[in-house]
Structures are given as structure tokens and as C-alpha cells.
Amino acid sequence: MIISLGSEPSNVRISAVHRLDPRVKMFSSVILFLAIILTPSSHWHKFLVYSLGIIVLIFASHVSTKALARKLVFLIPLIAFLTASVFLFSNRSAAGNILILWNLTVKSVLCYLSLALLASTTEFYQLIQSLEYIRVPRVITGVLTFAYRYAFVLTKEAERQRRARESRTFGKQSRRERVRVVANLLPQMFFRTLERSERIYAAMLARGFDCNIRTISFFRFRAQDVAFLICFLIVLGACFFIL
């Protein structure tokens, strides 16, 4: 299975962050995650430096800030769950609970933004190839590859089911009827997606797929990759160990 990693969507503005070696971006993201997680909640000035650094990278990469803001909506259920858990099951004082909640919220938002920035500036298969370079087990990379591939299969099947339902539905339906129709469609969508995924997998095996991602482009370190990595480690180390 050969995949080209050199092409980019025409509507995406390519920046210097996009052109960085994916291994450098993944390594930097992991180091940043560890620094954010290990920073004590009372060191708010370090979180400020982390936030400024992420904001600078977001603007330097020309990633849509509106798109990133919309992705933050997915954190609302997690933050609500954490808030309920802290205040219902913690024996600490109100000030202690607020400090814990601040710690969890800030770290979750910063890590999520870092992950969203990495995903927005790096193709999925480049991330998988980077994981293979650092000797992540092939089972994990294979599962991630198939999950990514079949997510689109599930989405397309759901869209087909929606169009079929709308073409067979006349007039306004009540909420109860819509729930009943959707409940009947879910098992059909599952089995149709399963059958389609099996056909896709059989076609991939017929074309020589062996869970290895082969590309026509290869990673190589360049001067800008080394410069970015050195600057990143210096700034992050100074923030974490000196401030």
C-alpha cells in the first residue's frame, strides 16, 4: 500500500510549521505534554508561557483559529464531568477544589490545543509513520490506521442512510417517530458498515497490504528542523526549570 505524503489540499495555506519534519513535531508535542502535566498548578506563570508559545505556533502555522475554537467545544463535557466529580467526591475545602479544577482545566485545554495543532499541521499518515520510526508496536499503528480509514466508511454509510430516510419520509414527523426511525436505522448502518469494511479490507489484501505504510516520500532532518528543535527545547527548559 503506497501513499503519497507530498500533496497538500489546495485550500490549506502551507507554513513553515507544516514543512517541519513530522518526527520533530511529534517529539516536541510529547515533551510539551510532559512539561504541562508535570507543572504544579500553583506555577501559573509557566502555564502563561505555555499558552503564549502555543498561540505563537498557531498564528505561525496559519491554522484557522475559529476551527480550533470550535474543537474546544468537545472539552465542555469533560470539564463538566471533572467539575461535578471534584465538588461531589472531594473532601477538600472550596478553595482546594477550585485549585484542583483550575489545574485540570488548564492542562486539558493546553494539551488539547497542542494535539489539535499537531493534527492540523501534519497529515495522519505522517503521524503514523512517525510512530513507526519510534518503534511503536505495529498492532497499535495498524489499529489507528484502520480506525482512521473506516471512520470515513461509517460517515458515508450514515449519510446514505440519512438520504434514504429523507427520500422515504413525507410530511412532518413527530419527535417520537424520528427517534423510532433512527433506532431502526442504527443496526442496519452497523451491519452495512461492517460488510463494507470487510470488502475494503479484502480489496486491500488483494493489492498487497501487509499493515505497513509505504510512501513515495521520506523523512529527513533539515537545518530548520534542527533549529526549531533546539529553540523549542531551550525555551521549554528555561520555562520549566528556571522560571
Q: Where are the domains of the chain?
A: 19-122+217-242, 138-212
Among 29-33, 39-43, 144-148, 170-174, the least confident range: 170-174
Q: What is the pLDDT of residues 29-41, one digit of tens each?
A: 999 999 999 988 8
Q: How far is CA 171 from CA 42, 167, 174, in A?
A: 59, 11, 10
* CA–CA dist 113, 235 (Å, integer): 19
Cβ atoms of 211 and 137 within 8 Å: the answer is no
User: Which residue would you say has higher pLDDT here, 190 or 121?
Assistant: 121
- Crossing angle of helices 124-133/94-121, nearest 10°? 100
Mean pLDDT of the chain, nearest integer = 81
Q: How many CA atoms lie within 13 A of 50 on its CB side?
A: 27
pLDDT band at 13 (very low <50, low <70, confident <90, very high): low
Over its C-alpha atoms, the chain yields an Rg (Å, rounded) of 23
* CA–CA dist 86, 90 (Å, integer): 5
Q: How many CB atoms lie within 10 A of CB 69?
A: 10
Cβ atoms of 31 and 243 within 8 Å: the answer is no
* Confidence (pLDDT) at 44: 86
Mean pLDDT, rounded, for 116-123:
88
* CA–CA dist 53, 47 (Å, integer): 10
User: Which residue would you say has higher pLDDT here, 102 or 161?
Assistant: 102
pTM recorded for the entire structure: 0.74
